[in-house]
Amino acid sequence: MTDMSQSQGETSGQSSERVDLPVWRVGQGFDVHRWSSDPARRLVLGGVRFDDSPGLIGHSDADVVTHACIDALLGACGLGDIGQLFPDNDPALAGADSLELLRHAMGLIGGDGWRVANVDCTVVLDAPKLAPHRPTMETLLSEIVGAPVTVKGKRTEGVAALGEGVQCFAVAGVMRV
């Protein structure tokens, strides 16, 4: 096995000069919340509030997109998970804005010497349509993360269990230089 800090010249026998290569890591995140019957709760995805859609059950704002991003980023950096950092039984976090949780997580990530390359999210839901809101979600998340964040929507294709809430899968790439 080749030492990750060797230069390519060293591994191919072309040079003995040592050049440190960046350390790359990938993290995976997932979050899911059920639909809420509370008429006062509104759906929040990627920091965007959907005023015409019922919300999700959750201790915070139940933003599955932002939560999955946080988990993917923390996992990639070896910094635990969202539940360790923001426990759902902490009264101070009741109704919390998930974008603020992401800001806090990014402070820890940057403080630990990691830079984000990108985050890619796949949201599973039938309605509302994400397309009109996707640019705003991507902009809000990208500004906080300091790297491109992409958001894609997928339908449940009639699988009843998937339609009981909203799911989001996220993958994050990070590097330490």
11 located within any domain: no
Q: Note whether 128 and 50 are within 8 A (CB).
A: yes
> Given pLDDT bands bounded at 50, 70 and 90, which one contains residue 16?
low
- Confidence at residue 17, expressed as pLDDT on a 0 to 100 scale: 73
Q: Tell me, rounded to whole angstroms, the distance of Cα 137 from its chain centroid.
A: 12
d(CA 78, CA 106): 13
CATH number, domain containing residue 74: 3.30.1330.50
- Confidence at residue 4, expressed as pLDDT on a 0 to 100 scale: 43
Note down the domain range covering 68: 22-176
105 located within any domain: yes
What pTM was computed for the model?
Answer: 0.87
56 located within any domain: yes
Mean pLDDT taken over the chain = 90
- Confidence at residue 170, expressed as pLDDT on a 0 to 100 scale: 98
Percent of the chain at pLDDT > 70 equals 89
- Confidence at residue 160, expressed as pLDDT on a 0 to 100 scale: 81
d(CA 141, CA 149): 6
- Confidence at residue 162, expressed as pLDDT on a 0 to 100 scale: 81
81 located within any domain: yes
- Confidence at residue 10, expressed as pLDDT on a 0 to 100 scale: 42
Q: What is the mean pLDDT of residues 161-168?
A: 90
- Confidence at residue 92, expressed as pLDDT on a 0 to 100 scale: 94
14 located within any domain: no
77 located within any domain: yes
Q: Are strands 48-54 and 42-45 parallel, antiparallel or unpaired?
A: antiparallel
58 located within any domain: yes
Residue 169 pLDDT exceeds 90: yes
First to last CA, the chain: 21
pLDDT in tens, 76-130: 999 999 999 999 999 999 999 999 999 999 999 999 999 999 999 999 999 999 9
- Confidence at residue 13, expressed as pLDDT on a 0 to 100 scale: 52
Please give the tally of structural domains in the chain.
1
Q: Which amino acid is it at 78? A: G
Residue 165 pLDDT exceeds 80: yes
100 located within any domain: yes
Percent of the chain at pLDDT > 90 equals 83
